[in-house]
């Protein structure tokens, strides 16, 4: 799916800004900023935690010249479901809160002013991703008086129009999509590449002309034979992006449409329990993150994206996982340009009927794969994620899910076709994985055989063996050794490990949980194990920064496992990691 850009043949009209907003069954009209979560734009508890339908409205102008074009209405994302109306006429619907979608609205608009309404729902249930426990509270007459979503995951259910809304004006005949693949050859200590570019066209024109440009806009290949000599490879933290200029011509030789797609050339391979980028063993240093900032919630905040990249460079990181959903297109483009390596994750979080943060004391256990009905949503998000991110050099691996109930009967049968789907869709043949939960350790997980890399979320010394770091170290080492025994050819990495830490909380006893001193000791314990295992290929902490969650006695205004605070200030452990990571090369 192409990112919305203005070119010689295309124009972008931004619809971001202040919109009208209303809750269902509430006649009051509010003003709200788009993009952004609706929740933190309100002061009242009931509004911030509202569950149900809400309506976003605004007007836009269609100029005379636009009527001869194809007019598309594009949303970066809407959480979690959107029904779109133009001039009170239904245009289309999209389910899933973290991937872009667009509708051609040419036939729905009028010359001059037009009305746009977006009916948004933040309801999550057993058929959605993420998964939520949905309940309707009714009065004695059976009328619904309240809707409740108990999130089956440990982050706040921010919702709304989270990413930019744009009109994209295109020619009637236009380029629909571009897929870039390549073969890389080593020749006399130099690298050559054969580039293959598939172009989907909307309309009847077939005259497609392709030019490859380097970063200085020099032509390096054109025509049908797209071979690049002396390729400059895209490297971790050393980005180099080529441009594929795709032009569409009519029968008279006039250019009808043009689009420029940036791409990097690099190889990715898992071999002999190593993760190879450009043929060299790569070591992941970085974070699981969240799109979570003050006021914006999960809404696009490009300042925070830039700051996050800056903080990650400062600390010596080279990678991050898009936990637990696809991040904004803007962040992915930034990662391409800055050379950050990305594990790209779907929205499949909460796939566990017996969620580990259930504090009700209930001992009733249900089989997740007999209870949930998420297969359709899961297939959809895999398709949409790969369609969106297929050309990104930064994406080196697909994460199919986070912490599913992979030890329960039926897990393999659920995931096997999903892994196959991802591999069939990706022309670059990237590795596939998922983030394994502690409740499915080595020998009990039924899904890990499908993975190219074993990715583990582990909290020895925190949720297990709290503060007893000697025992935690011993138990963690035993489990990792068992994983290696079961899968000797698969590399292993941590995609989560961490300890909640209150910024500014200190103690003379370094074993005291929640202190900054303990967080440092906790990390040192993990690192002793990491450094002793030659099949261990990476450490991504949980979390980059503190983030908001639902209420719970484990959570005091959110999850405090951040290496940075929610406003991106370093805790003591950040300085420890900076010293460590800047002494570990990207390739070793």
Rounded distance between C-alpha atoms, residue 416 and residue 435, angstroms: 15
* Residues belonging to the chain: 588
Let me know: does 309 contact 315? Beta carbons within 8 Å.
no
| Measured CA distances, 3 to 38, 76, 111, 302, 338 (Å) | 25, 9, 26, 16, 18
Return the SS3 of 495: strand
Q: Which residue has the tokens 């948004």?
A: 120
Report the candidate in 67, 76, 69 with the shortest Cα–Cα distance to residue 10: 69
Residues 6+ apart with CB under 8 A from 301: 291, 293
> Which DSSP string corresponds to 385-410?
HHHHHTT-TTEEEEEEEES--TTSTT
Report the candidate in 88, 138, 145, 148 with the shortest Cα–Cα distance to residue 118: 88
Q: Which residue has the tokens 């993150």?
A: 289
Annotated catalytic residue: which of 256, 496, 517, 586? 496
Rounded distance between C-alpha atoms, residue 203 and residue 248, angstroms: 11
Pairing of the two strands 341-345 and 395-402 = parallel
Residues 6+ apart with CB under 8 A from 248: 171, 173, 174, 175, 201, 205, 207, 208, 255, 256, 257, 258
State both tokens at 255.
């250019």
| Measured CA distances, 581 to 462, 507, 586 (Å) | 23, 26, 9
Please give the radius of gyration of the chain, using alpha carbons only, rounded to the nearest integer: 25
Rounded distance between C-alpha atoms, residue 41 and residue 97, angstroms: 19
Rounded distance between C-alpha atoms, residue 302 and residue 300, angstroms: 6
- The answer to whether 403 is a known catalytic residue is yes
SS3 of the chain: helix, strand, coil, percent, to 5? 20, 35, 45
Let me know: does 576 contact 523? Beta carbons within 8 Å.
yes
Greatest Cα pair distance, the chain, in angstroms, is 81
Kindly state the DSSP code that residue 58 receives in the 8-state scheme. Answer: E
The H-assigned helical ranges of 85-179 are none
Question: Which residues on adjacent β-strands are paired with residue 34?
Answer: 17
Kindly state the DSSP code that residue 141 receives in the 8-state scheme. Answer: T
Burial classification of residue 187, based on how many CB atoms lie within 10 Å of its CB (0-12 exposed, 13-18 middle, 19 or more buried): exposed
Pairing of the two strands 432-436 and 395-402 = parallel
Q: In what order do the strands lie in the sheet with 268-271?
A: 268-271, 274-277, 280-281
Annotated catalytic residue: which of 403, 517, 521, 586? 403
- The answer to whether 135 is a known catalytic residue is no
**What are the catalytic residues?**
403, 496
């Amino acid at each position: 799916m192409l990112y919305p850009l203005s070119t010689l043949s295309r124009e972008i009209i931004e619809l971001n800004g202040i919109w009208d907003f209303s809750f269902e069954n509430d006649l009051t009209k509010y003003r709200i900023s788009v993009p952004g979560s609706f929740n933190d734009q309100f002061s009242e508890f009931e509004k911030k935690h509202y569950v149900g339908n809400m309506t976003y409205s605004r007007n836009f102008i269609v100029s005379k010249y636009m009527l001869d074009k194809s007019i598309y209405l594009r949303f970066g994302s809407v959480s979690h479901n959107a029904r779109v109306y133009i001039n009170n006429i239904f245009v289309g619907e999209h389910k899933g809160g973290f991937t872009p979608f667009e509708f051609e609205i040419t036939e729905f608009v009028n010359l001059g002013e037009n009305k746009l309404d977006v009916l948004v729902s933040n309801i999550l249930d057993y058929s959605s991703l993420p998964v939520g426990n949905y309940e309707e509270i009714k009065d004695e007459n059976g009328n619904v008086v309240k809707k409740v979503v108990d999130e089956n995951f440990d982050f706040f259910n921010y919702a709304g129009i989270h990413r930019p809304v744009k009109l994209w004006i295109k020619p009637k005949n236009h380029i629909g999509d571009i897929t870039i693949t390549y073969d890389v050859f080593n020749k006399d200590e130099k690298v050559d590449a054969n580039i293959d570019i598939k172009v989907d066209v909307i309309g009847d024109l077939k005259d497609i002309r392709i030019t490859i440009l380097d970063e200085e806009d020099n032509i390096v290949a054109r025509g049908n034979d797209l071979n690049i000599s002396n390729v400059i490879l895209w490297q971790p933290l050393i980005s180099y992006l080529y441009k594929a200029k795709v032009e569409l011509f009519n029968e008279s030789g006039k250019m009808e449409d043009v689009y420029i797609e940036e791409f990097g050339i690099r190889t990715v391979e898992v071999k002999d329990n190593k993760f190879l980028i450009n043929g060299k063993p790569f070591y992941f240093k970085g974070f699981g993150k969240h799109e979570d900032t003050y006021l914006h919630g999960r809404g696009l905040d490009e300042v925070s994206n830039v700051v996050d990249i800056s903080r990650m460079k400062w600390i010596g990181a080279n990678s991050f996982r898009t936990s637990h959903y696809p991040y904004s297109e803007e962040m992915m483009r930034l990662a391409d340009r800055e050379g950050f390596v990305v594990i790209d994750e779907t929205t499949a979080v909460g796939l566990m009927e017996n969620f580990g943060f259930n504090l009700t004391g209930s001992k009733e256990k249900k089989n997740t794969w007999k209870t949930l009905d998420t297969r359709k949503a899961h297939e959809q998000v895999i398709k949409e994620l790969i369609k969106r991110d297929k050309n990104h050099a930064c994406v080196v691996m697909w994460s199919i899910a986070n912490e599913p109930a992979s030890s329960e009967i039926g897990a393999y049968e659920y995931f096997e076709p999903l892994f196959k789907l991802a591999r069939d869709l990706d022309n670059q043949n990237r590795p596939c994985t998922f983030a394994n939960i502690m409740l499915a350790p080595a020998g009990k997980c039924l899904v890990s055989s499908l993975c190219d890399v074993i990715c583990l979320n582990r909290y020895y010394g925190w949720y297990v063996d709290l503060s007893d770091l000697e025992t935690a170290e011993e138990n963690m080492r035993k489990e990792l050794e068992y994983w290696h025994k079961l899968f000797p050819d698969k590399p292993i990495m941590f995609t989560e490990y961490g300890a909640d830490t209150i910024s500014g909380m200190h103690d003379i006893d370094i074993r005291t949980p929640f202190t900054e001193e303990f967080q440092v000791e906790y990390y040192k314990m993990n690192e002793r194990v990491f450094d002793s295992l030659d099949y261990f290929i990476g450490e991504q902490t949980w979390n980059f920064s503190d983030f908001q969650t639902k209420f719970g006695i484990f959570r005091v205004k959110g999850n405090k496992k951040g290496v940075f605070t929610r406003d991106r200030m370093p805790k003591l452990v950040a300085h420890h990691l900076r010293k460590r990571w800047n002494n570990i090369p990207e390739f070793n």
